Structure 1
Amino acid sequence: MELASHLHSLILEKSVWAAAVAIFSVYVVNKAGGLIHRLDSYAPRAEAEKTSSHPLDLLLKLHDEPLAINGVDVNGKFMADGKEVLGYLSNPANYPVSIRFGRPRLTSNEKLMLASMFHSLFAIGSQLSPEQGSSGTEMLETDSCKLHCFQTLTGIKFAVLANPRQAGIDSLLQKIYEIYSDFALKNPFYSLEMPIRCELFDQNLELALEVAEKAGTFGPGSQAEPAMDPPHFGISCSRDPAVSVPMERPTALLVPLEMGGC
């Protein structure tokens, strides 16, 4: 139930921009289930702001999510200056007030937990699949987005959350793997399984997403995906494909004497 709730929240967060953005997010998960890199490429969500006088013509409950009151950010039940939201709104001296509403984005901790749960779901899928030697969960499909996953031979997972009609995601996953090999693994200052902090990796990843959205594919023979059926949720698992993959860690590496980062 917890995984379904977080997936539903993530799907709602992306669905508003599904018509305008082709690729929403990229996640890199290590073999232990830790999120070591993420990139969100979707535009900020639309927000609504309303100014009211006392008494407030809105009934706020604890589950409502105001983003700001009079320009002061709100985090849960408290404002950024430490004042309690419901207590502030109950004081007539604070009126008129301007309240901004919107769906909050997932926090960093929620994204870490989501990556860990997907790692567990991936392992469960490989065990439950009737195919011998199953590669695990390759795709989670809904009516508003698709989560595509590619796992390397060393257990690193690359996941792309995209518009269901976006073509060439398999080629994009391979391209992201190549970027990871070239700009993370070949960096002598990068430690395996640790968060990726490399400017060149970020730049090339953003460029790859831009090319994928414009061209639709990195490889020949890819065709646009058909229109979606009525709303549904599905999981796809298949036998581990025989694909050629780049070398993950070079056996020898010449390191320049001058110290430097990515």
Structure 2
Amino acid sequence: MIYGVYIVSKSGGLIFHHDHSVPRIETEKTFSYPLDLKLDFDKKFITVVFGQRDGIFVGHHLMAVNGTQVNGTLLEDGKEVKEILEKEENYPLNLRFCRPRMTTNEKIFLASMFYPLFAIASQLSPEPKSSGIQILEADTFRLHCFQTLTGVKFMVVAEPIQTGVEVLLKKIYELYSDYALKNPFYSLEQPLRCELFDQNLQLLLDNFEKNGITNI
């Protein structure tokens, strides 16, 4: 499974991102009174700000109470979620939490953080002219990076067991060359907004997940 594709300019700016198969991580638990999580009700979503347990972490959003969907700080029937959580007689309560998707600003920040890490890895390498970070591996994903001669970085985030990503990265670069670099009005530092690139990238990723590297 491919989770996402990112393109970072030679100066470290995020110029393209595409969420492909990002899993929706939800955790549902039954809580007794008093609730041992601290929640923030002052924002668009009800968010965990202190305490974590059983797969529920700080930053997760409250999505449902006893199977009823939460919209903002209200249930679907219009009741205030805060009032329900504060009354002991309502317990035990079945609460479902969800990890929020990254915002565009968060993706821009992470891309800017990866840029200096890539440069540091190149300098720390005992080998001359190191290519920097090619694979960054965690327990739940792998980040694969391919840097072009112009310094533009293509990154694919995938499952740890996913194979053939190196070939996929070069195919994405071919699409970038065809639909971005051949456009006389496109600058390497500006965000990539091209409908044909988006459509062909989606087809490429779908085909890769379905057939592997042999038919892309």
TM-score normalised by length of structure 2: 0.74
**Richer in strand (by share):** 2
1:252 counterpart residue number? none
1: CA distance between counterparts of 2:146 and 2:98? 33
Shift of 1:173: 0.8
Alignment of 1:195-210 (within 5 A): 195-210=191-206
Partner of 1:246: none
Pair 1:45-2:24 in alignment: yes
Q: Does 1:30 align with 2:25?
A: no
Q: Does 1:134 align with 2:130?
A: yes
Which letter maps to 2:8? V
Structure 2: distance between partners of 1:129 and 1:189: 38
* 1:166 partnered with 2:145: no
Unaligned runs of 5+ in 2: 39-48, 51-57, 75-79
Aligned letter for 1:36? Answer: I
CA contact (8 A) 1:125 1:136 kept: yes
Counterparts in 2 of 1:138 and 1:219: CA distance versus 1, 3 Å: farther
Distance 1:49 1:167 in 2: 32
Contact 1:151 1:157 in 2 (8 A): yes
2:61 aligned with 1:66, yes or no?
yes
What is the aligned length? Answer: 192
Amino acid at match of 1:178: E
Partner residue of 2:107?
111
1:87: how far off?
7.0
Instruction: Quote how far apart the aligned CAs of 1:142 are.
Output: 2.5
CA distance in 2, matches of 1:187, 1:95: 61
Structure 1 gap segments, 5+ residues each: 1-21, 221-262
Shift in Å at residue 165 of structure 1? 2.2
Structure 2 residue 152 is the aligned partner of structure 1 residue 156:
yes
* Residue 98 of structure 2, aligned match among 99, 102, 105: 102
Q: Post-superposition shift, 1:97?
A: 8.1
Coordinate RMSD, CA, aligned: 3.3
> Secondary structure in 1 aligned to 2:136?
strand
With over 3 angstroms needed to count, the CA separation of the structure-2 counterparts of 1:57 and 1:66, relative to structure 1, is farther
Contact 1:27 1:37 in 2 (8 A): yes
